[in-house]
Structures are given as C-alpha cells and as structure tokens.
Amino acid sequence: MRRSALLSGDKSHSLGSLAVCRIGYTDDLTAAWPQAEDLSSSMNDAQKTKDQLIRELHELRYQLSLDSDAQRQELVDINALLLAINTTLNLDEVVEKVMDALRRVFSFDQISIFLYNAETGSLEVTHWYGEGVTDKLREIFEAYPLSIDWEDVYFVKSFLDSEPKIVNRISPELLAQYSERDLQMFEWNPHKGIAIFPLEVQEKVIGIINFVNTLEPFALRRQDVYRIGRYVSAIATTINNAYLVRKTRYALEQSRAREREIAHLNQVILTTASTLDLDAVFAAISQGLKDIFEFDAVGIQLVDNERNLLNIHKVYGDVITNELLEQWCSLEITTRRDDSASSYTFATGDTFYFPRISPNDPFTETDWRMYNIKPFSAYLALPLIIQNDTIGVISFFRAERFFDLDETDLARIRRYVASLSTAINNARVHELLKHSSANPR
C-alpha cells in the first residue's frame, strides 16, 4: 500500500483524526533549569507528569491489546476472503464479506466501484451497494463518466496517483474548495464522510472503490486506512479474476463461433456451386446468419441500370405478407444516395446500420412511405458486390426488437453476404446464357 493522502475540511485537524505527539525543546539550558524557589513547584509538576505518563502507558497498553485483537480478527477475515476469491467469481459475494469485515473498522452505508474504460478514457460506475442507492441515482452516475483528464476530481486523483483520498468530515469550508464536478456529485448524493481507494492489481490501477457515510462523519486513523486497503485488495483481485475469466471465455466463444462459421460457409460454398436456386442458397446462408443475430425479414433489391432503380427481387420472412409485398413493390426506389437507406448503401457501398428505429427518426420521403406500410424496429443494409461492381442491396429487418451488433458481427455478416452475391450473379449469368441460347443471332 502506498502512502495515503488524508484530507480534512477542519484546518485545525489537517491530518483528519490522526493523533500527533510533538516533543518540545529549547536551546537555552539556563532557562530550562529551575531556580531554588521554584524547586517545590517543579517537584509537584514532575509528580503530575509522572502520574500522567503512567496513565498514558496504561492507555497505550490497552490500545495495543485492542490493536492485537483487531489484527487477529483481520487475519480471520483475510483468510475467509482468500477462500472466497479462490472459490467464486461473484463480486457481490466478495463485496458482502468485505463490507461485513470493514464495519468492524469504521461505519459506512454505501460502497461504489468505478472501473477504468480504456476505450472512453474514463472511470465508469459498475457496482453500487448500500442504503439509499436507487435506480435513479445509478442512472445519474452512469450517465456521468469521469474523464481521467479531470485531474481536479477526487476520484480521478485517487486513480491517477494510486493513493487513497480520505475526507473524515465534510464541512462547508471544504465544500467551498471542491471542484465543480466534485460538488455536483456531492449534491447528487450528499454524505458526511468519504474514503476513496484505488483498485490495484499487480501495480496496475484498474479503477477506484468509494466508501461514504450519508449520516455521520468518519473517524479514520492511519492504521485504519492501511487495514481498509488490505481488504480493498481482495476486491481488486476478484474483479481482475472475473475479467480474466470473461476474456478467456470470450476467446473460447469466438473460436467456437469461428469454427461454426467455417462449417456454415463451406456448406454455403457447396450449395452455391451445386445449384442456381437462390432460395436454397439463402437457406444455407440464413442458417449461418442466425448464429450471429436474429432478424424477422430479409429483402433483396437488384439494380435496374437502364432505369436507375432498385427493384425488389426476393423477400423472406413470415411478417412480409403478399399484400405488404405488393405495396412495397409499388414504390419507386432510385439509386440516388439520398432517396432511401438502401439507395445510400448502393451508391456508397457502405453498410447502413440502424439498430433502433422510432417514428421520430429523420426518414427520407421514400423510407417514411415504406415505414408507414410496415413499421420496423431495426434495420441493416449491406451492398451486394461482385468484382467491385455493386449489383444490389440486401436488407435485414426486426419487427419489434432491436439489433445489437458490433464490428466483429458485421464483418461476419459481410462474409455470408459475399457468398449470396456470388449466388445471385451465377443465377443471372445462367439466365443470360439461357436467353442467348434460346435467341441465337
């Protein structure tokens, strides 16, 4: 545990509740030597000093006995925590044990954990325990990530300095010195005392843990801060262990998903090579796509280069009735990039991903007419490309739920769509050859 920074709003107790013993002295020895007439008084003072020293020694022995009991209890608690860390990845279970142990050290009623997000460069609240913690309070802090550039914020200071920040008693004088952001967080969740500790694993700080008492101040001594730090290490280790397990599981899941994808793509390639039936090819592709995400309908549009239109070629999905299909087919969708979402995808070659759709979204006129025919809750469009030539667009829809796709998912979907493009092109080439054979020059 590195040195701790103890803060206090009371300038007369700048070290919080730490007791500091100062030994006074003087350079003038004659001034320090008692005169004869003062000898009796000095002896009385010496006796008083002796009695006081005896009382202080008794008090020290009593305090040492208490500290000894506390150390024995701490060993019991630490052993229980080590057992919990080695047998569970459930952070809630470990935090509960830490809370039970730390309540023998000091009184607090809330614990919050902020973990560092490298992608956003901020500390984000991930767990919050205790009295008065409401869903609304969580939502407020979840929407307020703490940028590590905010070096004047106590939470960020603790993270960057890898040091505890302790305020035993929050006073009006201290609040007047708070940064604007610290004051904002205090107003959201008022408290009497706060103790912030870095969460450190193998000399790497992964976040901070925050203890507050909303009813009464703290009275933490330096040894208390050290003891709390040892318990905090158990929480940091549990978080790190859970992260490593999730990372390993994710890698394993990705490996298995890749194996399934290879098997599906091989089946698609085999189907594409053995048939010109687009429905059969799409059935093989759909089996692989369902392993990535759920969709309720699919539409395939092919370009009419003579009229610069995107015509509906195929649709799949039980939600698309014949009546809906007729209404959609009656709409004229051009290849101009600003005409519709699919037009944009065709013209630019970019993926158009709209994971959540609502009536208040900024639709083009064509998209709005399509939405009025059949409202969908999510939309994904990808170009159908053959040898750098865009031949159409494939669109995926959700009827009620939303999409939740990342870049890895989209890359996997593109690989399947590439196979579909090949199947469509093969079918078109076959039709052209058949037409040429039937109408020789």
Rounded to whole angstroms, the Cα distance separating 385 from 381 reads 13
Superfamily, domain 275-436: GAF domain (3.30.450.40)
Best CA proximity match to 396, nearest among 421, 413, 408: 413
Long-range contact pairs involving 136-143 (C-beta distance under 8 Å, separation at least 24):
137/188, 137/189, 140/188, 141/112, 141/185, 141/188, 141/189
Same fold, 5-18+42-244 and 275-436: yes
Rounded to whole angstroms, the Cα distance separating 283 from 113 reads 47
Q: In sequence order, which residues have a C-beta less than 8 Å from that of residue 89 and are 6 or more positions away?
A: 238, 241, 242, 245
Rounded to whole angstroms, the Cα distance separating 104 from 232 reads 15
pTM over 0.75: no
Superfamily, domain 5-18+42-244: GAF domain (3.30.450.40)
State the virtual CA torsion across 57, 63, 68, 73 in degrees, nearest 10.
170
332 and 310 Cβ atoms separated by less than 8 Å: no
Rounded to whole angstroms, the Cα distance separating 101 from 97 reads 6
Retrieve residue 133's tokens: 């913690």
Q: Which residue's structure tokens are 């035993």?
A: 168
pLDDT in 10s for each residue of the chain, 441 residues: 443 444 434 333 333 332 322 222 223 322 333 333 444 444 454 444 445 544 544 444 444 444 555 556 555 655 555 555 555 556 677 677 777 778 777 899 999 999 999 989 999 998 898 888 999 999 999 999 999 999 999 999 999 999 999 999 999 999 999 999 999 999 999 999 999 999 988 888 999 999 999 999 999 988 889 888 887 887 777 777 767 666 777 777 777 877 877 877 777 777 777 777 778 888 888 888 888 899 999 999 999 999 999 999 989 998 989 998 999 899 999 999 999 999 999 999 999 999 999 888 888 999 999 999 999 999 999 999 988 899 999 999 999 899 999 998 999 999 889 888 888 877 766 556 555 555 555
- The rounded radius of gyration (Å) of the Cα atoms in the chain is 35
Q: What is the DSSP string of 284-334?
A: HHHHHHTTT---SEEEEEEEETTTTEEEEEEEE-TT--HHHHHHHHTS--B
Best CA proximity match to 164, nearest among 20, 16, 63: 16
Q: Given this model, what pLDDT does residue 79 score? A: 58
Q: Given this model, what pLDDT does residue 436 score? A: 54
Q: Given this model, what pLDDT does residue 164 score? A: 94
Q: What is the DSSP string of 116-175?
A: EETTTTEEEEEEEEETT--HHHHHHHHT--EETT-TTSHHHHHHHHT--EEESS--HHHH
3-state helix, strand, coil split of the chain in percent (to 5) is 50, 20, 30
Count CB neighbours of 32 within 10 A: 9
Retrieve residue 208's tokens: 């901070």
DSSP state of 110: E
Q: Given this model, what pLDDT does residue 18 score? A: 29
Rounded to whole angstroms, the Cα distance separating 81 from 23 reads 41
Can you tell me whether residue 54 is helix, strand or coil?
helix
Q: How far is CA 257 from the centre of its chain?
A: 24
Q: How far is CA 228 from the centre of its chain?
A: 25
Burial class, 436, CB count within 10 angstroms (exposed 0-12 / middle 13-18 / buried 19+):
exposed
The structural domains of the chain, with segments of one domain joined by +, span 5-18+42-244, 275-436
Rounded to whole angstroms, the Cα distance separating 427 from 147 reads 54
189 and 203 Cβ atoms separated by less than 8 Å: no
Best CA proximity match to 322, nearest among 337, 332, 312: 312
Rounded to whole angstroms, the Cα distance separating 226 from 374 reads 63
195 and 220 Cβ atoms separated by less than 8 Å: yes
